[in-house]
Structures are given as C-alpha cells and as structure tokens.
Amino acid sequence: MDIKKGENNLTFLVTGAAGFIGAAISKRLLENGERVIGIDNLNDYYDKRLKYSRLEEIDQIAKNLDSKWNFFKVDLSNFSELQIIFEKYLPKVVFNLAAQAGVRYSIENPSNYINSNLVGFANILELCRQTNIYNLVYASSSSVYGGNKILPYIEDNSVDHPISLYAATKKSNEVLAHSYSHLFNLPSTGLRYFTVYGPWGRPDMAPMIFTKSIILKKPIKIFNNGNMLRDFTYIDDVVECTIRCGYKPAIKDDCFDNNNPNPSTSFAPYRIFNIGNNNPINLLDFVRTIEDELGIKAIKEFYPSQLGDAKETFADTSKIKEWINYKPKYEIAQGIRNFISWYKTYYQ
C-alpha cells in the first residue's frame, strides 16, 4: 500500500541528514509537511562547516513551515543510542543515507567503512524490524557494478565483482536488506546512485574540486588521461526519485522466477533501482561545461587511472521510470549553472 504525502501523520527518519543527499531529502520531506527525525555523526571526512550549514538551512525551513524536525548527533554503529530514538519516535519510513563515502578513501581506511556501512546498516535493519516500519529506502551506489563492462548498467546485471571496498560494502547492504525483507517481510528499496552533483555537494567530488581549482587558477588532475565517462545526476532528480520510493514501499514480485532469478526484484518485498541521468558525458566535456559557466580556462594535468576507479558509468533508468513514473529532468548545463551559482554565493 502506498503512503500518502503529508496525510498519514507518520514520522520519517533520515540518517546522514547533514550529508549532501540526506540534507536534501530532509528538506523535501519537511516541505511535504512530514515530521522528520535527522541523524548524523558529523564526522570530519570533509569540512564540518558545510555539514553545519546544511543543518542550519534545514532548521530554517522547519521554522518557516512550522514543521516538526528533530536532529540527533549519533553514530550508526551505536545501537543503544539508535534504539532510544527509534523507540521514542517510532518512525514508519526510514531513509538510510548515512555511509562512509569515497572510493579512494576506502583503500586507506577500511575500518571506517566496516563500522559505518556494514555494522551501522545492520543496526538500522534490526531496528526497522523491531519497530515494524512501513518502508526502508537506502543508498546503494553505481560502484557496485565494479568490473562489469556491459553498458548501460542494468539492475539485472551481475554485481559480484566490486573493485573497491566501498563498492563491496554497498553490495553487502543490498544482500543484508534482502535477508531482512525475506525473513521479516520488511519492505526495502536500494537505490544505486550515479555520481550525484549540485548545490550543497561534497567537497571531495569532482564538481567542487574542479570549480575551486579553476577559480584559484590551480591545476586540476584529470585521471585516465580524460578517457572517462560519468553519468552525472543532478541532486533534484535524485531527491525526487528517492522521495517517491519512500512513499511507495517495495512489494513482492508475483512473476519472480526462482529458476531464472532477477537480481532487482524478489519473492520478498525488495527492489533495486538505478538512479542516474541515463546520459553519460566525457570527463573533459564536464570540465568544459564548468569552464564555460565560470568564464575561466582550467589548467589540466593528466594522469593514469587510479586504483578502484571505474572507467565508465551509464545508468539504464527504465525500471525506476516504470516504478514511479519519473525520468531525469536536469541536463548537465542547467545543473552546472545551478551548482556554480550556489558555489559563488556560499563561498563568496
């Protein structure tokens, strides 16, 4: 049964609420008239000031709309503190956006990924089970496709050969979620995000790194000599898809064939979807778009590919369109224009 926007008197819980996608989800839920609980550990993987600024904007939206918003600084690995929040507020829809991010960082700091992305996610699953939530939507990643060379990436493809620890933890999340969906009838939807960008984005991502360096007239590093394709996906498209999935819990696939299993559906209430732009662009074209918007030429330095990096990403988005009747609206030029406008305002 679908959940009606703003009419069910339900509490929504968002983990990673101070993060890029989590903050955007929290704002949209408040604008939809929902009661929202935000959780984040506010770690120092990147500048905390950006995280606090996102929270300040959420606070202002909640105040302006007279919406119910509560935030808690909690690490997902702390089961007892999470349990107190779940039992007090009894959320019915959970968006799990919290994770230790970064493909390259995972090579040097594996324990952070185990604690946050595996232990933390297992805690969320168990508390969802204990409190009988209606729906769990969680962030997976396009990185799960790993060594897969078949493009575009389709949810039916194998994802059994990750090329980074980060990707392995995201694949593990999908497997863990399926077990809970099967054993406890917990509706779960995993969303494989493809290179999300836009206002309030992460400083460790290419748009922010390139923009800052171009403005400061510092060289930007172009890996694999620029021979890379990325399916850059604008934040508003990501938010719209994620929110719609929150209002539409996964259901059992009545046509599921155990002799020829579809990895994206199940005999349990479980779904996996790509969230991408379905229009990959070359990395050098992406840089040119930023150059054009800034009116400044980049100083480029070319390097070989890095360990753990995929050469190409390209999302087939037909399944998510069929599920929630939505396809991406933002082309790269408009998305970069919006991002640059925000960047200049925020960083003055």
| Residue pair 290/207 in contact by the 8 Å Cβ criterion | yes
The C-alpha atoms of residue 279 and residue 268 are separated, in whole angstroms, by 32
Strand partners, 215: none
| Residue pair 121/113 in contact by the 8 Å Cβ criterion | no
Residue 152: asked if its preceding bond is cis (omega within 30°), the reply is yes
* Residues contacting residue 312 through CB under 8 Å, at least 6 positions apart: 151, 228, 229, 230, 280
166 flagged as catalytic: yes
Q: How far is CA 26 from CA 16, 247, 257, 348, in A?
A: 10, 14, 37, 25
* Residues contacting residue 21 through CB under 8 Å, at least 6 positions apart: 97, 139, 193, 196, 235, 238, 239, 242
| Residue pair 212/274 in contact by the 8 Å Cβ criterion | no
> What is the residue-wise DSSP string for 203-271?
TTSHHHHHHHHHHTT-EEEEGGGG--EE--EEHHHHHHHHHHHHTS-----TT--TTS--TT--SSSEE
Indicate which residue of 166, 180, 193, 234 is catalytic: 166
* HSE of 257, CA atoms in CB hemisphere, 13 A: 4
Strand partners, 230: 281
Q: Which residues are catalytic, by number? A: 166
